[in-house]
Amino acid sequence: MRATLLLALLAPGAAVAQTAGGALAASPPPERQQALVRLVRQDCGSCHGMKLTGGLGPPLTSAALNDRSVETLVATTLYGRPGTPMPAWKSMLSEEDATWIARQLRAGFPEEPRAAR
């Protein structure tokens, strides 16, 4: 199965994902984006390194992913990589979530905000 998503930027700061059928999906709301940053930094970081520079899994830095399409990253995120330790995240992430994560990985993934003291 393949996720078929294309990126479109409509206006500065307003990114959306366009499905193969032409439907547009807005980026997740800010609260969800924060949760996704935490998920990637903590859960993905357990295999890909806490700084996403590699570990059991390959690095997820923008430099390491510059030859991968967003569509490929979304498909890998949602469906995993059979025969490898990379699990499918489809039960926990929507296509919108996976697309947002893929775009952020390609741009340089944000750091998790530090708790206020």
Residue ranges per structural domain of the chain: 28-107
**Cα–Cα distance, 37 to 100 (Å, whole number):** 10
Least confident of 61-65, 90-94, 108-112: 108-112
Least confident of 5-9, 31-35, 37-41, 101-105: 5-9
**Cα–Cα distance, 35 to 20 (Å, whole number):** 27
- Using CA atoms, how far residue 26 sits from 42, 94, 95, in Å, is 25, 12, 11
Q: Is the dihedral of CA 33, 34, 39, 40 positive or negative?
A: positive
pLDDT level of residue 8 (50, 70, 90 thresholds): very low
Question: For position 82, what pLDDT does the model report?
Answer: 95
The CB-side HSE value for 55 (13 A sphere, CA atoms) comes to 12
Which residue, among 46, 43, 20, has the nearest Cα to 99 in the 3D structure? 20
Which residue, among 18, 24, 38, has the nearest Cα to 110 in the 3D structure? 38
> Which has the higher per-residue pLDDT, 6 or 115?
115
**Cα–Cα distance, 90 to 97 (Å, whole number):** 10
Q: Identify the top-confidence range among 12-21, 46-55, 105-114.
A: 46-55
Has residue 9 got a pLDDT over 90?
Answer: no
pLDDT level of residue 113 (50, 70, 90 thresholds): confident
> Which has the higher per-residue pLDDT, 6 or 54?
54
Question: For position 13, what pLDDT does the model report?
Answer: 39
pLDDT level of residue 62 (50, 70, 90 thresholds): very high
Look at domain 28-107 and name its CATH class: mainly alpha
